[in-house]
């Protein structure tokens, strides 16, 4: 999966999980701009875990503040799973 494909899937998950207007969400969007609070954050993590069949560790939550943070984190998790 290319980085662009991954980012698109992340955006789709965000839009669906938070019932966002798709036009508002880009690869550069931050949680702050999208009005996403900490409870929204765990709801998004839940949706991402289902989408990518991964487990996102609790410690990573504070670091996830934007679409690009999420895409990078998921890339890392997928790569470490593939190399395992």
Partner 1 sequence: MTRRVAVTGLGIVCALGRNVAEVRESLFAGRPAIQPITRVGPALLKCTMAAEARDFDPNEHFDPKQQLLLDRFAQLAIAAATEAIRDAGLEFRQGLGARTAIITGTSSAGQTTVDEAAMELYRNNAPRLNPLTIPRTMSNAPASHISMQYGITGPSWAVSTACSSANHAIGQAFWMVRHGLADCAITGGSEAPFNLGFLKAWDAMRVVAPDTCRPFSKDRKGLILGEGAGILILEPLEAAQARGARIHGEIAGFGMSSDAHHITMPSADGAAAAMRAALTDAGLPPEAVGYINAHGTGTPANDPTESRAIQDVFGPHADQLPVSSTKSLHGHALGAAGALEAIATVLALRDGVLPPTANYLGPDPECDLNLVTGESRRHQAAAALSNSFAFGGLNAVVAFKAPGAA
Binding site for partner 1 (CB under 8 A): 18-20, 39, 42-43, 45-46, 49-50
Torsion over CA: 51, 43, 17, 15 (sign): negative
Closer of 10 and 48 to partner 1 (Cβ): 48
Active site residue 37: yes
**Residue 4 beta carbon to partner 1: minimum distance, rounded to whole angstroms:** 27
Nearest to 44 by CA among 80, 70, 26: 70
Active-site choice (37, 55, 58, 79): 37
> Coil, strand, or helix at residue 36?
coil
Residues designated as active site:
37
């Amino acid at each position: 999966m290319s980085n662009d494909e991954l980012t698109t899937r992340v955006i789709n998950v965000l839009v669906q999980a938070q019932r966002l207007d798709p036009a508002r969400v880009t690869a550069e969007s931050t949680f702050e701009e999208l009005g996403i609070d900490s409870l929204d954050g765990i709801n998004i993590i839940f949706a991402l875990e289902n989408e990518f069949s991964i487990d996102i560790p609790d410690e990573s939550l504070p670091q996830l503040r934007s679409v690009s943070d999420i895409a990078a984190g998921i890339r890392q998790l997928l790569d470490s799973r593939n190399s395992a």
